Structure 1
């Protein structure tokens, strides 16, 4: 890689890491569109460019989530009982997600990414106040919710915060706790999804050198290094921001990135 590309990837990693800490989104929603742009500009095979962007983004979350969750845990904001209930379904769903993504062509995958992100941004921005009596479901419901979060996260290469944060907020979990808990959920999502992307991409023809399945290792290394450094700063900022401002930031970022991927789906 040339130095200009390394600097771009470092900047992306810094932005993704800060967003991961701030919003509990694992950075994937921020990174996938930008990685897609870079891989397209470097003439990666068009039929796998979005698949590789999603897989590489998901792999970075293994590192970002650990850095982010340490900062949130220091504030006592991570609700570990929720993590334990959601994690089994998440691990299963995150393995299935990349397999589903492999069945989709680049155009369809980009469209799916855009629609899911726009939907969750809308839910976060205008979702009504949850009923006072609404609570998190029991263990079977949490397993099912974790499975759904894992599948979608594996398909679109994100840490699951764009589903888990609104889900927990809808069940009357405070937004700051929801963000922190989502950051903790990012690791099992990323680990299972990364192994799945390696497995299902292992025999894919036409991948560029230094690929591990669908993961482009040089980009992963540079982005992860920067994101790990910035995630704690984002986490600290999250605990200083009011709830409505945090939701607004979350939604607006997701709308912008959904717009790019929608454009990518038809060009």
Structure 2
């Protein structure tokens, strides 16, 4: 009983942290939730073969309300590229849907490695960013941007994130401010998390080793515990983001990703 209480408190704290980070970086919170859930699910008796899948699927479900709450706060401050999000309303979910059909055949270690590799590229960009590390001063034309949206949706489904990590890299590489990128990423989390959650439910439906309270690879009990705390903390993170200088926000984001990468690598090696 003590272990379960400790686990519940840990998940609640994870909700607070993930919600704050969702608002601060526009990342949906998956970058912190996935490693925590990978650690927590074995304590609930989840089979090791599906632990990573359960962590990613549950993380995506938690992102839905958190990303919505974060985006609303950012929009009130006049930030976010609403036009690009409208263009991505088809392309991002399409990438998510295709990835969802594949994810059930991919091992948990592959999910971890994809997560760590992509996060490392983004961390290097954020930590050592230079003025000349920009491809252009404006976003590319719509066909290219739509292709990027498809790719972000596809990769984010494997990583269990709301796409903010990838979109922040994309937009800042084309001359957009980190504040604008973060606000847009919060909206992107909504486009990704809804179809991705449905995809993970489908991919795990009927699996014989699912824990109690699960719909496919989404555990509703864990989500119900984390979501209220993440939604409470998301506006706080968004306000801090707009008060922080752009370069400092980039550095903090990069350092955060390095911590997450180290945790993921440890999971694979051990």
Scaled by the length of structure 1, what TM-score is found? Answer: 0.95
> Per the alignment, do residues 122 and 101 of structure 1 end up closer, same or farther by CA in structure 2, a change over 3 Å counting?
farther
Contact 2:135 2:173 in 1 (8 A): no
In structure 2, how many angstroms separate the alpha carbons of the residues matched to 1:160 and 1:261? 18
**How many Å separate the matches in 1 of 2:129 and 2:188?**
22
The aligned residue for residue 253 of structure 1 is 256
Q: Give how far 1:173 is off.
A: 1.2
Deviations 1:235-266 (A, max 9, x none): 00000001111001111111111111111112
Q: Which region of structure 1 is more displaced relative to structure 2, 130-139 or 150-159?
A: 130-139
Unaligned runs of 5+ in 1: none
**1:69 aligns to 2:106 (yes or no):** no
Q: In the TM superposition, what is the alpha-carbon distance from 1:174 to its structure 2 partner?
A: 1.3
Number of positions where the alignment pairs a residue of Structure 1 with one of Structure 2: 267
- Structure 2 matches for 1:40-189, cutoff 5 A? 40-129=42-131, 130-131=133-134, 133-189=136-192
Q: CA deviation at 1:131?
A: 4.6
Partner of 2:237: 234
1:25 is matched with 27
> 2:49 is paired with a residue of what secondary structure?
coil
Displacement of 1:133 after TM fit?
Answer: 4.6
Question: What SS is found at the alignment partner of 2:60?
Answer: helix
Q: Which of 14, 20, 35 is the aligned partner of 1:12? A: 14
Structure-1 separation of matches of 2:154 and 2:76: 29
1:141 & 1:23 partners in 2: Cα distance? 24
Q: Spell out, residue by residue over 1:117-150, the C-alpha distance to the aligned partner (whole angstroms, 9 max, x if none).
A: 1222112222432558532122211210001100
Report runs of 4+ in structure 1 exceeding 4 Å deviation: 130-133
1:107 is displaced (CA, Å) by 1.9
Q: CA RMSD in A?
A: 1.5
Long gaps (5+) in structure 2: none
TM-score by length of 2: 0.94
